[in-house]
Amino acid sequence: MHLYSRQILLDGWDIEAQEKLKLANVLIVGCGGIGCTTAELLARAGVGKITLIDSDTIEVSNLQRQIAYTEQDVGFYKAEILAKRLQAINPFIEVRAKLEKLVELNSELLISQQDLVLDGCDNFSTRYLVNAVCHQFSVPLISASAIGFQGQLFMVEGESACYECLFPKEDHANESLRCADSGVLATTPNVMASLQAHHALLYLGLGLTPLKEKLLLWDGLSMKQRIVNFQIDENCSTCQVI
Ligand SMILES: [Zn+2]
């Protein structure tokens, strides 16, 4: 109670909302610039069960923006180091680390039991897979991305339009834009992760879905934020399955 007292004091946030966080199962896909910050904020806020998945190890070039890691962590698995950090920050939650890539074979088992999936991975194929499996098992998804000075955030829930409706697969078939190739300012993924974690708390604690079928675009040069609606695409292969 003492740990979460500033949250429980909040108008519109009570013990019931805090208990909902405690009971929540959340999967964080990717422990990079977005996943590090999202995971830490959720652990501090009191989300009860957090599963991290990432097969990457920490590189020196990650330290510029991935706030959970230090120079001593280089070479170790990101998910393992991040899990230890979360557990040190909040020993009252359960943290699991999966040191593997999210692929079709493990995706159903990992995603189907979650109350919410937070995607912050660095590639399109994982994003499409996470989207498809979340859709299949009706698991809500909040997806954040950051590249250069730009960030995006949206939510997929229930019968809403999905990631593939928003970004048709054909458009991205040959694209492999990643931070690794195109550069990113230290702050951009952390801004988007904070927004993603904030939305996750709104959803888990209060059942709010302000970015359902809405794409938030954040421009890190002008500091402007826009929110645009998107709809089900009748050609979307994910939405047509059901
Ligand atoms: Zn769709």
Residue 136 tokens, joined? 């299949």
Q: Has residue 241 got a pLDDT over 80?
A: no
Domain assignment present for 97: yes
Parent domain of 133: 5-229
Q: How far apart are CA 43 and CA 176, in angstroms?
A: 31
Distance 161 CA to ligand 1 centre (A): 5
Number of domains comprising the chain: 1
Does the pLDDT of residue 137 top 90, yes or no? yes
Q: Is residue 237 part of a domain?
A: no
- Residues near ion ligand 1 (CB < 5 Å) are 162, 164-165, 236, 238-239
Q: What is the pLDDT of residues 24-76, one digit of tens each?
A: 999 999 999 999 999 999 999 999 999 999 999 999 999 999 999 999 999 99
In a domain, 77, yes or no: yes
Residue 236 resides in a domain: no
To the nearest 10°, report the CA torsion of 159, 165, 170, 176: -100
**165 CA distance to ligand 1 middle (Å):** 4
Residue 120 lies in a domain: yes
By C-alpha distance, which of 133, 193, 120 is closest to 164?
133
Distance from the CA of 80 to the center of ligand 1, in angstroms? 33
Q: What is the pLDDT of residue 179?
A: 53
Instruction: Tell me how far the alpha carbon of residue 162 lies from the centroid of ligand 1, in angstroms.
Output: 4
> In DSSP terms, which residues pair with 216 in a beta bridge?
153, 227
Residue 149 has pLDDT above 70, yes or no: yes
pLDDT digits (tens, 9 = 90+) for 82-129: 999 999 999 999 999 999 999 999 999 999 999 999 999 989 999 999
What is the H or E stretch that residue 200 is in? helix 188-206
240 within a domain of the structure (yes/no): no
- Taking the centre of ligand 1 as the mean of its atom positions, its distance from the CA of residue 130, in whole angstroms, is 12
Q: Is residue 198 part of a domain?
A: yes
What is the 70 CA–ligand 1 centroid distance (Å)? 39
CATH code (residue 151)? 3.40.50.720
